């Protein structure tokens, strides 16, 4: 059975009685059961089917929420009341959410149906979805390849047609890089656009919930619904949510492209050429493209890893077997309980980051690493704002390459460098999106990234819409 790809098409077909929501739900469940990608770690089968019946009636009765008809997969680090939540870690095995994330409440209020829980890197730390107690996710375009990470299950599920929409989190690229690897849209809103209440914390001054979709209209409406102030997260802006519908302004846009991005040695030549050809086309169509100087490219990854590991070491301190999380049986006293529970409960990458974070925060090194990285963060933010003063968006690659083989990258530093083009938006708090407009000669997809000034989601979606309409292959 064919499931329409966009929310608008689903609603139209249901109203015309060409398809029922229960049929769609059953089809998704069947597909998930026969899938081999390991994207889903749990399906809420009965619950989703019974909700589908109720929401079907609401649609027919012409009294339905903005997201009625949509099936959503949730990354396993976003709380959904009374459902399991593990951050793909042994540390949280058996844990059930006591409340729903604000973003989840908001989509449920608009009649979205949550289909299940999606695999990810443990505590959202990784770029390949290989750091998960549930095992790696396979890229639906080629099962030997990784789907990217950390929201690998979310990207794979949308790419494979196992849900319309997946929610993910993006601390340093975890939505955009897997979107690029799997050939779907991946959007990270501005820091402070969507409440982080109910998102398991990794790097609190970087984390944002965002969305994977097949159509730009669906990404837009999800961000609109999830936006807005929240008494449980004081970092959320009280600004008006972004628009419900993408405007179609009949105007020419100004694009900026930092030269250093284009000249980055590790950038795949075909990705670079595609970016250059899109730029040429934009110019031919009368848009302005300005080549800019951004001397901080090589500082992005170090700044990101100093600051996020520092924040992670503090955020993950609560999982000690006494206050929260897995408790080791082999302990005699409180100290050995802490030590054994954390040693046995966390995987190797999470432990590496906790140790790194504690190191950069330790006395004697604090100023040399943590304080310095904070200062560099400020410089990067100021420079980026300057680049966006006369430009609507920056146009960038999303990732240096297409998806790599499962097991291929063993060196952690090499893995961290995967994030070179995505961490920029998290360091500055800017909204950014990856659009699936490239296919490599190796048959794998890749994305092109757009980044706007903070809270300019509307512009970002307008430009995205333009690019998708013109250049989607
Ligand atoms: N790959 C990055 C990291 O490992 C990004 C993770 C994320 O955005 N959650 O930290």
For ligand 1, what atom is nearest to the CA of residue 418? 1
The Cα 456–Cα 370 span in angstroms is: 29
**Among 13, 75, 138, 188, which one carries the catalytic annotation?**
75
Cα 243 to Cα 44, 201, 388, 409, distances in angstroms: 31, 28, 21, 40
Query: Is 75 labeled as catalytic in the residue annotation?
Result: yes
146 within ligand 1 shell (Cβ under 6 A): no
User: Domain residues for 217?
Assistant: 1-473
Mutate to test the pocket of ligand 1, among 88, 171, 202, 353 (most ligand atoms within 8 A of CB): 171
**CA-wise closest residue to 171 among 416, 422, 376:** 422
CA of 153 to the centre of ligand 1 (A): 14
The CA 337 to ligand 1 mean position distance, Å, reads: 29
By the 8 A CB rule, do 55 and 71 touch? Answer: no
- pLDDT reported for residue 345: 98
Nearest Cα neighbor of 432 from 240, 272, 210 is 210
* The pLDDT value given to residue 470: 85
Mean pLDDT of the chain: 97
Q: How many domains does the chain have?
A: 1
Q: What is the pLDDT of residue 473?
A: 59
Residue 252 annotated to the active site: no
Tell me the CA–centroid distance for residue 299 and ligand 1, in Å: 16
Q: Is the CB of 340 under 6 A from ligand 1?
A: no
Atom of ligand 1 nearest to the CA of 174: 8
> Which atom, in ligand 1's list, is nearest to the CA of 305?
10
Tokens of 291: 């080549």
- DSSP H helices in 117-267: 152-159, 176-182, 216-226, 259-263
Tell me the pLDDT tens digit for each residue of 33-77: 999 999 999 999 999 999 999 999 999 999 999 999 999 999 999
Q: Considering 100, 150, 169, 190, which one is annotated as catalytic?
A: 150
Is the C-beta atom of 201 inside 6 A of ligand 1?
A: no
Is the CB of 419 within 6 Å of ligand 1?
Answer: yes
- 234 in catalytic set: no
Q: Which residues contact 179 (CB under 8 A, 6 or more apart)?
A: 148, 155, 185, 186, 212, 398, 434, 436, 447
**For ligand 1, mutation pick of 119, 174, 449 (most atoms within 8 Å of CB):** 174
The alpha carbon of 193 and the centre of ligand 1 are apart by a number of angstroms equal to: 19
- pLDDT at position 471, please? 78
Query: Ligand 1 pocket, 175 CB below 6 A?
Result: no
Determine if ligand 1 sits within 6 Å of the CB of residue 88. no
Q: Could you tell me if the CB of 171 is within 6 A of ligand 1?
A: yes
Which stretches of the chain score pLDDT less than 70? 472-473
Q: Is 154 in the pocket of ligand 1 (CB under 6 A)?
A: no
Instruction: Please identify, by atom number, the ligand 1 atom nearest to the C-alpha of residue 304.
Output: 10
CATH number, position 61: 3.90.1300.10
Query: Using CA positions, which residue lies closest to atom 10 of ligand 1?
Result: 125
Strands (DSSP E) contained in 398-444 are: 432-439
The region that residue 401 occupies, defined by phi over 0 for left and psi between -120 and 50 for alpha, beta otherwise, is beta
Nearest CA residue ID for atom 5, ligand 1: 172
Q: What is the pLDDT of residue 25?
A: 98
């Amino acid at each position: 059975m064919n499931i329409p790809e966009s929310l608008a098409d689903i609603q139209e077909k249901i109203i015309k009685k060409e398809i029922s929501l229960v049929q769609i739900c059953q089809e998704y469940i069947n597909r998930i059961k026969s899938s081999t990608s390991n994207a889903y770690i749990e399906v809420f089968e009965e619950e989703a089917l019974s909700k589908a019946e109720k929401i079907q009636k609401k649609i027919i009765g012409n009294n339905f929420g903005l997201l009625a008809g949509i099936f959503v997969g949730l990354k396993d680090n976003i709380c959904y009341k009374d459902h399991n939540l593990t951050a793909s870690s042994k540390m949280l095995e058996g844990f059930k959410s006591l409340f729903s994330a604000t973003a989840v409440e908001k989509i449920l209020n608009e009649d979205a149906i949550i289909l299940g829980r999606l695999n990810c890197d443990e505590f959202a730390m990784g770029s390949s979805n290989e750091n998960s107690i549930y095992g790696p996710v396979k890229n639906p375009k080629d099962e030997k390849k990784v789907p990217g990470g950390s929201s690998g299950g979310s990207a794979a599920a949308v790419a494979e047609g196992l849900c319309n929409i997946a929610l993910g989190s993006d601390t340093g690229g975890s939505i955009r890089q897997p979107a690029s690897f799997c050939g779907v849209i991946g959007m990270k809103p501005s820091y402070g656009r969507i409440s982080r209440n109910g998102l398991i914390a990794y790097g609190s001054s970087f984390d944002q919930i965002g969305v994977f979709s097949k159509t730009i209209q669906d990404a837009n409406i999800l961000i609109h619904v999830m936006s807005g102030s929240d008494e449980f997260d004081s970092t959320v802006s009280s600004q008006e949510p972004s628009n419900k519908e993408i405007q179609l302004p009949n105007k020419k846009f100004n694009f900026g492209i930092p030269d250093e991005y284009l000249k980055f040695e590790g950038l795949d030549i075909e990705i670079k050429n595609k970016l250059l050809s899109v730029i040429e086309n934009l110019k031919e169509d009368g848009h302005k493209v300005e080549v800019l100087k951004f001397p901080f490219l090589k500082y992005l990854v170090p700044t990101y890893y100093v600051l996020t590991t520092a924040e992670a070491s503090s955020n993950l301190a609560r999982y000690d077997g006494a206050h929260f999380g897995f408790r080791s049986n082999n302990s005699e006293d409180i100290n050995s309980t802490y030590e054994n529970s954390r040693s046995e409960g966390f995987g190797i990458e999470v432990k590496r980051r906790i140790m790194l974070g504690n190191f950069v925060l330790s006395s004697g090194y604090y100023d040399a690493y943590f304080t310095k990285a904070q200062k560099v963060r400020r410089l990067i933010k100021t420079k980026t704002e300057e680049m966006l003063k006369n430009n609507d968006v920056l146009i960038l690659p999303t990732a240096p390459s297409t998806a790599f083989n499962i097991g291929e990258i063993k060196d952690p530093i090499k893995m961290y460098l995967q994030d070179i083009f995505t961490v920029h938006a998290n360091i500055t708090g800017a909204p950014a999106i990856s659009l699936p407009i490239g296919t490599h000669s190796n048959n794998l997809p890749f994305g092109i990234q757009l980044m706007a000034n903070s809270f300019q989601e509307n512009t970002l979606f307008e430009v995205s819409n333009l690019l998708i309409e013109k250049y989607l292959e």
